[in-house]
Each structure stands twice: as C-alpha cells, then as structure tokens.
Amino acid sequence: MSLIVKKFGGSSVANAEKVFNVANIIIEDYKKGNDVVVVVSAQGDTTDDLIDKAKEINPNGPSKREMDMLLSAGEQISISLLAMAIEKLGYPAVSLLGWQAGFQTDSHYSIARIKKVESERIRAEIAKKHIVIVAGFQGLNKYDDITTLGRGGSDTSAVAIAASMKADLCQIYTDVDGVYSADPRKVPSAVKMDEISYDEMLELATLGAQVLNNRSVEMAKKYNVELEVRSSLEPTKRGTIVKEITKMEKTLIKGVAKDNNVASISVVGLKDSPGIAFKIFNKVAQSKINVDIILQSIGRDGTKDITFTVPESDAEAAVAAVNELNDSLNFQTVTCDTSITKVSIVGAGMESNPGIASKMFEALSDAGINIHMISTSEIKISVLINEKYADAAVLAVHDKFFA
Ligand code: ASP
Ligand code: MG
C-alpha cells in the first residue's frame, strides 16, 4: 500500500465526461488499497475567463487580494465536481480548499510561495478512507487571506503535498504522455524520454516546454520528490520520470525548446570605462527584472554597446530603467527588439563535448537562419533568432540531433 499524490491539469477535467475519466483513474489506484491525494486545477479555460471578468469590472487591474479571491474560485468548482463524480461511482471522497488542506503561503498575492503544508486534515481524511481532492494553486497567508501561487501553480501544490507527506509517488497528469525532446505537435520526430533529471527538466520548463511548471520542478529537486508526467487520456501508459540522475546518459541532448517570451535591449554608445555594466544591471535588478543573456561588443572609439535579454513582458520597464541612467551615463540610444525567440538545446554534460555547439550552429546555418546572440552553460546552449524562424529552427536543430 502506497501514498500516491496525483495532479490533474485543467484540460484533464474540462467537462463532465473528462471529470468521470479522471475519477476512474483515481478509483483504480484506490481500489488497489492505496491512499490517494489528488490535486486539481480549474476546469479548461476557467482561470482565463475569471481574469476576463475582473477586467470587465476594472480594466486597470483590481487589487491583487481581490484577484486572488476571484481566481481561487476556479479550483473550488473542479474539486467539488470531481469529489461528486467519485461519490457517484460509489467511492468515498472529500474535497478541500487550499486552506483546509493546510497550505500556508507568504503574503505575495498572485505569486505566493508555499511556506508549509500542515497536512493533519489530509491525514485525518485518509484515515477515514476518503479519497482526498485538494484545490491546487491556492493557500492562505498570515492575514488569513486567500493567495494564489502564480499561473500553472497546481503542479507546485502537488509537489508540496508529496514532499510534506513523504508520498511514495507524485504523478502529474496532462494531455501529453510524457516529456518529449521537442513539442510533438510541431516536430514529428520528437521522442519521449523515459527519464530526465531535475536540472534538465528545469531548463526545459523555463525554456517553454510547458509540461511542468518550473517552480514545481525546483521544489521537487529540493525535497527529492520523484515526479512522473503521464497522460490522463492514456492512463495506463508509462510516462516520463523526473528525478536526480547521476550517471551520465548515453544520449547527451535531451531536448530542444523555444521561448518566445524574450526581448533584447541594446544600449548603444556607452563610455568604455569601469563601472558601466554594474550601473546598468544594478538599475535593471532594482526594477526586479531578470536578465538572461548579456553581450558586450568590442569597444571602438572609446565607446561600447551592451545588449541583454529580458522577458518580453518586462521589456518596457527595462528600457525605462536604462533611460533613467542617461543623465549619468550619457549613451547614444536604447533600442528594444521583441521579435526574437530563444532556441535552446538541453542536456547534461554539454561542457565536455565541444562538438555539440558546432552541430547546432551547422543545423541553423543549413536552414539559412541567422543567429543574433549565443549563450552557453553546463547543460544548455541557447541562440537568439528572429521569431519568424522559431519553428523552423527547432525542427532543424532537433533533426540534426535526433533524426
Ligand atoms: N488554474 C490555474 C491556472 O490556470 C492553476 C493551474 O492551472 O495550475 O494557472
Ligand atoms: Mg497547467
């Protein structure tokens, strides 16, 4: 007998038929004598629809407290419907909101972090042989107000429960049957991985593979919770295991991902003297903007240019921050390009295999795609290209390594 945590995303519970499908998957495990705790997201597009409703009332953005109060309602609907479906099929279930399940968070509405899960109530329900259905994406802060964890936060809720209750299994169900080497809808030769390490998964999650929320992977790594990504449409099929992998795998490159949410900002005509880069990135950091790739040109005529990338949603704020420095730094211009995409290959052991980068560049060159910027780390190589060529680039690079 095991304690199993299962998480189902919004598309897996989008309508009554799908809710019953999920109920049956859960019951299968319960019938085998397992204790089952289930985390669910809001049905289908519910969260987006709620955001639209808020905009109808206040297009300028309502207070974050009220926004979280509203958005948490989506999960209240899905947990109760799922519990009803399980009851209808003749098995005992109880639904719990985040606070009832013991989710304590910090006070940052809309991006709250889980501090701990006091799992007494969940344990008490399990002791009564209930299947426990918990609302994902939500918790309670120290003011006893509802918070939400950021979009896609239900994955993190599931990992938090698995970590705090030391579950034997944490299964994340979605509408694909695992983690692939590229988006299988766009790259026909994409292959499913049996296993992937936390670090590789983190890169793929941040790079836009969109199977798991990256915070959930960080938490899983921290508490050593092994995850399995599975499909709710093919529930008996083995998925992809995400865990700590120490032995070097044969396939070096695990996957190719693209991230469209990137803008590059160039500060042109900076004085070529010490402290300039510090001033710029200190200013950008003060605006709480994450900088990813940084490139500094070779100086000429006593000036240099610095180009860096930020999430597209922060581009305007980054330009504004840099412009505030114009009086003291006296550069020529700041430009911002949002029509770029980051394409990356991910795999452990990259640094000891110099041929990998050239193979990637060759694929892009053969496809006639120009590279604007390059960055490398131990486990990934990223290039920035024009977003028009994003899909073509992923395909070309993927086929170079996998076909
Ligand atoms: N319902 C929330 C969202 O749409 C949380 C989640 O899906 O994980 O972002
Ligand atoms: Mg999701």
Residue type, 187: V
The secondary structure element, H or E, covering residue 325 is none
Q: Kindly give the distance from the C-alpha atom of residue 154 to the centroid of ligand 2, in angstroms, as a whole number.
A: 7
How much is the pLDDT for 353? 77
> Could you tell which of 46, 111, 154 is best to mutate to test the pocket of ligand 1, judged by most ligand atoms within 8 Å of the CB?
154
How far is residue 183 from each of residues 9, 171, 176, 359, 400, measured CA to CA in Å? 18, 21, 10, 20, 15
> Mean pLDDT per segment of 10 residues, for the chain of length 403 residues?
96 97 98 98 97 95 95 98 98 98 97 97 98 98 97 97 97 92 89 92 82 93 96 94 75 87 94 91 93 86 92 95 92 95 90 85 97 89 95 96 88
Q: Which ligand is nearest to the CA of 40?
A: 1
* pLDDT value, residue 196: 92
Q: Give the predicted TM-score (pTM) of the model.
A: 0.86
* Residue identifier of the C-alpha nearest atom 6 of ligand 1: 152
Domains of the chain: 3-174 (3.40.1160.10), 263-337 (3.30.70.260)
Can you give the pLDDT at residue 250? Answer: 53
Q: Nearest C-alpha to atom 9 of ligand 1 is from which residue?
A: 151
Ligand 1 atom nearest to CA at 42: 1
- The amino acid present at 88, given as its one-letter code, is K
What pLDDT is stored for residue 128 in this prediction? 98
Pairwise CA distance, residues 397 & 403, whole Å: 10
Cα 150 to averaged position of ligand 1 atoms, centre (Å)? 8
The H-assigned helical ranges of 116-235 are 120-127, 154-164, 198-204, 214-222
Ligand 1 centre and the CA of 218: distance in Å?
18
Q: How far apart are CA 228 and CA 5, in angstroms?
A: 10
Q: How far is the CA of 149 from the centre of ligand 1 (A)?
A: 9
Query: Which residues form the pocket of ligand 1, taking CB atoms under 6 Å from any ligand atom?
Result: 9-10, 41-42, 47, 74, 136-137, 151-154
DSSP, collapsed to helix, strand or coil, labels residue 357 as helix
Residue with the smallest CA separation from ligand 1 atom 7 is 152
Sheet holding 138-140, edge to edge: 114-117, 103-105, 138-140, 146-148
Angle at 358 between CA 357 and CA 363, to 5 degrees: 100
Measure the CA dihedral 138/143/144/148, to 10°. Answer: -10
Cα separation, 402 vs 96, whole angstroms: 45
C-alpha 70/C-alpha 138 separation (Å) is: 11
- Quick one: pLDDT at residue 1? 85
Distance CA 361, CA 359 (A): 6
| Residues ≥6 apart with Cβ < 8 Å to 344 | 203, 207, 256, 257, 258, 259, 380, 381, 382, 383
Q: How much is the pLDDT for 248?
A: 59
Neighbours of 228 (CB within 10 A): 17
